[in-house]
Structures are given as C-alpha cells and as structure tokens.
Structure 1
Amino acid sequence: MTLNQKDKDEFLKTAIYAVKEASKVILRSNQKTVKTYKAKTDLVTSTDHESERVIIDIIRSKHPDHSILAEESGNFKKHLDYNWIIDPLDGTTNFVHSYPLFGVSIALSYKDKIIVGVVAELPSLNVYSAIQNGPAYCNDKIIKVSNNNKLIDSLLVTGFGYEHGNLWEDNMKLFKIFTDITQGVRRSGAAAIDICHAASGKTDGYWEFDIKPWDIAAGSIIAKQAGALITGIRGEEFSIWDNQILATNGKIHGEMLKIITSTI
C-alpha cells in the first residue's frame, strides 16, 4: 500500500479529533479520581483509562484495521503497517496533584516510521501537531526550534523515570552538570510536553533515559518537523523503542553529546 498526502492529512484529522475529545474528558474530571499504583510511585487513575477508551474508540471507528499501542491497554500488533501509539494522560502525577502541566499524546507509525504526531498541552489546550515532511504547529502557528548556539545561554529540560536504578543515578549526574553550565534545567514531569517545548523554542534541548515509546512518539515527529536534531542519548540513531532520547535545536547538540559521553 502506498502512503499519500491525502492519507496523512486524514490520519492527522483523526489524531487531532481524538486528542481534543480526550482532553475534554481530562479537563472535566476530578483530579482526585480513583488512583492505583503500577509501581511504588507510578500512578494510574480512572481518568487515564477513560481518556484511553475515548481515543481507542475513535481510532477503531475510523481505522479498524490499524494496531494500537497504548500505555494502559490497546491491541498492538507490530507486524501491521499502521500502528497508533498513545499516551492518554501524560503527566498523571502532575494531574493528580493539580499541578498545571499534563497532556495527551497520539502518534501514528507507518512501517515503523512515525508519520503523524499530535500532543495536547493541558490545561492550556495548546495543540502541537506535525505530519511527515510537513511543518510543525502549535494550534495554527508554525513552530521552529530556537536559534541559540551556546550551551551556556541555553535552557534545558529532562525527566526522571520511576525506577531509581543506574540510569536514574546517571541522569542525576548530568542534571547537576548541565545545571552548572547552562541557564537552567527544568523537570516538568510530562515528557511529551517537554519535547514540544523544545520543538517550539521554549527550551533549547531535552534529554531523558528510561522513556517509553508512547511518551516520545508524537513529540519526536513534532520536534523533527520543527527543525530539531534527535538522536539517542549518546548520539546513536534515534528509535522510539530504545527508551532514551536527546533532542535539541541542533546547534548545541554536539556540546551536549560531549558532556554526556564523557560523564556516563
């Protein structure tokens, strides 16, 4: 099957519609909804499940032959050409604590390449989107990465996984180093939003270990189409399946890589 522009536009419409419907579910829900723990500090709420159900129902109604990989459920068959990758509530811990930064992330891959990405930043309702070989948007405005070319003038962002193992310790080392030699390092707790902030020039670079495909799939194509350089954490070819990412405006990428590879 050949993929054309009309197909991609139609898939983008599906993703934007699903993101907006899921956002309605999240914004009208009570933050103190029933919650459980997937791990000691890894929360999941009834809102996660309701948002995911809405997204899956929309995708299945419009594209019943596509596979779905979702954080909480889904029907994933990687051998199929089309695979939707969704995070129904990115930043669940923020949401539960009424901290105003969380969102919804939906991506579509075709033959293992991401071709559509949509992220809703909540509660602001900024919708970031991109399709393969097209511009990246925040709402109706085209976005681009920053032009900053000096690490010392940069604002960075990172995240920490729930498991406090060796990768967590490595990232703590990098967090301290980059805090000392940049304008600052932020830790928002919502990976999809972090990538979109780098894509739109709000920050200059983002890195993270122990990250899941649904956390970065949509954001990665948005950042790429906004002009970002994306690699593995040590400069490897990027894959959403490798659980790590370094995304920058391209101008500070080399400096960051030198520090990362000499530290861990």
Structure 2
Amino acid sequence: MDFTQLSLDLAALCRSTAQFIRQEAAVFDRAKVEHKGLHDLVSYVDQETERRLVTGLRQLLPEAGFITEEGTAGPDTHTEEFVWIIDPLDGTTNFVHGLPVYAISVALLHHNELVVGVVHEVNRDESFRAVRGGGAFCNDQPIHVTDVAELNSSLIATGFPYKDFGKMERYLQLLGAFMSRSHGVRRLGSAAVDLAYVAAGRFEAFFEFNLNSYDVAAGILLVREAGGQVTQFLQDGDPLFGREVVASNRLIHAEVQQTIGEFWQ
C-alpha cells in the first residue's frame, strides 16, 4: 500500500469536497439546522459532505470500514484492516453562524494505527496532510511544530464544553491558569483546525475534553508527524478514543500536563 499516494488522493478528494461546502455557505439558511443533542448542531451540508466523502473513499479503498460522525456509511466498523475516520464538517456551529473556521477531517487506521490524515480548512483552502513516517505538510510544503521551550512564551488553543458542564468549574480554573501563564488562549471552534495549527507552528499547544475520534484523528497524526506530542490530559493513554487530548510542540508538553494536573484530578 502506497500511503503517500493515498494521502495525495485523499487531499484531492477533500479539496474538491470543500468547494461544495463553500458554495453552500454562501446561501445557507439557518432554519435548516437540526439538533442532535443539546447545542449539538447538524445540517444538510454535514450530511451531504459526508456522503460525498464516503463515496470517494470507497473508490480509493473499497475494503475499508468507516467511523463517521453522521452515520452515512452505516454502523461504525472497528474490525477491518483499514478504517476511515471522518468528520465532514468540524466546526458546524461556526459554519451555521457564518464564522469562517471549519474543516474537513479524514484519517485512515491500518491495524488500529493512524497512517494517513488530512485536515482541509475550507475558507483558507489550506490542505494539511500527514503520512505515518513521512512527515506533515500544508499545501504540499513541509510543516513543523515550533521550538518554543516555555509555556510563558506560548500561544495555547482550547475548546469550550457545549453539552457536558459537569467539570465547568475546574475547566474555568484551568483556563485562568493558562491565560496567566502564556501569551494567551484562543478558542477557534474546530479541534481539527486547532491540531493542524499546532502542527504548523501557529499554536504551541492545544487541549480539550469530551472529544470524539473523528474530531481528532487526522490532527493527531499531523502533530506527531510535524514533530509534536499528543497524549491524554494526565497520562500517555490513547488520545484517539480517550475523549481528551493534549497536543503540543513536545518541548512544553510536560509543563502543559503539569498545569492541567493542578486542577484536573
């Protein structure tokens, strides 16, 4: 299997599919939004984007299974040799409100290892691509995490809870700690974009909890292939299915985890 060529084919599929999202954004009607749960929005754009991706991916790799956000490929399948993990529109709330930060995120598992990942940021038309052992790229130019070695010289990204508020007090304390110990904290509204920006050296670190595999799969591979580190909050456990992620340039990772540990016990 030529994973480099597969990543290029995947990037081309995501780029063409992003054109559909941009076209719909120009005429989108918020009245067509549906609710999957509390503050959890979905639109026909998410669903149609996912259908287009699934159709294209089945042509690229017919034997692969799927883990998808909107379920258009049928029940999630974890047992195949190859499994695609798809978020057709990461940042749906931004899309619905006309805020131009959202992305397509697609990754491939091979025997439960991430081997290919693409995050396509729709409005900037930036294609972030990674292959296991082959590096990370933005629009085919190599990218790398920063060499900033201290938290107090870092820009940090995070995501805010939108449906599970049981840890809100601890999260706000943690947010305050990062605000006072860094160059600042940003909340863009798309975990896939946040992770891609860590890989590209635009953020030094990103943390968030209550995430799904399709939010982070491609981004995890991007950060790792760009020289960074990705773990769970307080340990090196599986960030793909572990529901919480810390990604960094590696140099400040211990300091970020130490800060989280002060409030997240």
Compared CA separation, residues 131 and 207, structure 1 to 2 (3 A): same
State the distance in 2 between where 1:136 and 1:170 align: 34
The alpha-carbon deviation at position 105 of structure 1 amounts to 0.4
Q: Which residue of 2 aligns with 1:149?
A: 149
State the distance in 1 between where 2:203 and 2:29 align: 31
Aligned equivalent of 2:28, options 11, 28, 31: 31
State the distance in 2 between where 1:45 and 1:198 align: 28
The alpha-carbon deviation at position 9 of structure 1 amounts to 2.3
The alpha-carbon deviation at position 228 of structure 1 amounts to 0.6
Provide Cα deviations, 1:170-199, integer angstroms capped at 9, x if missing partner.
322211110111110000100000001111
Q: Indicate the SS of the match to 1:176.
A: helix
Conserved in 1, the CA contact under 8 Å of 2:234 and 2:257?
A: yes
Conserved in 1, the CA contact under 8 Å of 2:198 and 2:205?
A: yes
State the distance in 2 between where 1:58 and 1:17 align: 10
Conserved in 2, the CA contact under 8 Å of 1:207 and 1:246?
A: yes
Aligned equivalent of 1:60, options 22, 43, 58: 58
The alpha-carbon deviation at position 222 of structure 1 amounts to 0.6
The alpha-carbon deviation at position 140 of structure 1 amounts to 1.8
State the distance in 1 between where 2:114 and 2:255 align: 27
Q: Which residue of 1 aligns with 2:78?
A: 78
Conserved in 2, the CA contact under 8 Å of 1:82 and 1:109?
A: yes
Conserved in 1, the CA contact under 8 Å of 2:40 and 2:163?
A: no
Conserved in 1, the CA contact under 8 Å of 2:195 and 2:206?
A: yes
* Residues 22-31 or 130-139, more deviating: 22-31
State the distance in 1 between where 2:28 and 2:99 align: 10
The alpha-carbon deviation at position 15 of structure 1 amounts to 1.6
* Residues 187-196 or 16-25, more deviating: 16-25
The alpha-carbon deviation at position 165 of structure 1 amounts to 2.5
The alpha-carbon deviation at position 65 of structure 1 amounts to 1.6
Conserved in 2, the CA contact under 8 Å of 1:66 and 1:82?
A: yes
The alpha-carbon deviation at position 22 of structure 1 amounts to 1.8
Letter of the 2:46 counterpart: D
5 Å-filtered alignment, 1:91-240, equals 91-240=91-240
Q: What is the TM-score when the length of structure 1 is the normalising length?
A: 0.94
Q: Indicate the SS of the match to 1:124.
A: coil
State the distance in 1 between where 2:173 and 2:88 align: 31
Q: Which residue of 1 aligns with 2:248?
A: 248
Q: Indicate the SS of the match to 1:240.
A: coil
State the distance in 2 between where 1:139 and 1:192 align: 16
Determine if the alignment matches structure 1 residue 42 to structure 2 residue 40.
yes
Q: Give 5+ residue unaligned stretches, structure 1.
A: none
Aligned equivalent of 1:51, options 49, 52, 58: 49
Q: Indicate the SS of the match to 1:175.
A: helix
Conserved in 2, the CA contact under 8 Å of 1:161 and 1:211?
A: no
* Residues 121-130 or 254-263, more deviating: 254-263
The alpha-carbon deviation at position 162 of structure 1 amounts to 2.2
Q: Give 5+ residue unaligned stretches, structure 2.
A: none
Conserved in 2, the CA contact under 8 Å of 1:233 and 1:257?
A: yes
Could you tell me the percent identity over the aligned residues? 31
Q: Indicate the SS of the match to 1:69.
A: strand
What is the CA RMSD across the aligned residues, in angstroms? 1.3
Provide Cα deviations, 1:140-183, integer angstroms capped at 9, x if missing partner.
21000011111111100000232233234432221111011111
Letter of the 1:50 counterpart: E
Q: Indicate the SS of the match to 1:178.
A: helix
State the distance in 1 between where 2:168 and 2:111 align: 32
Provide Cα deviations, 1:118-147, integer angstroms capped at 9, x if missing partner.
001120100000000011000021000011
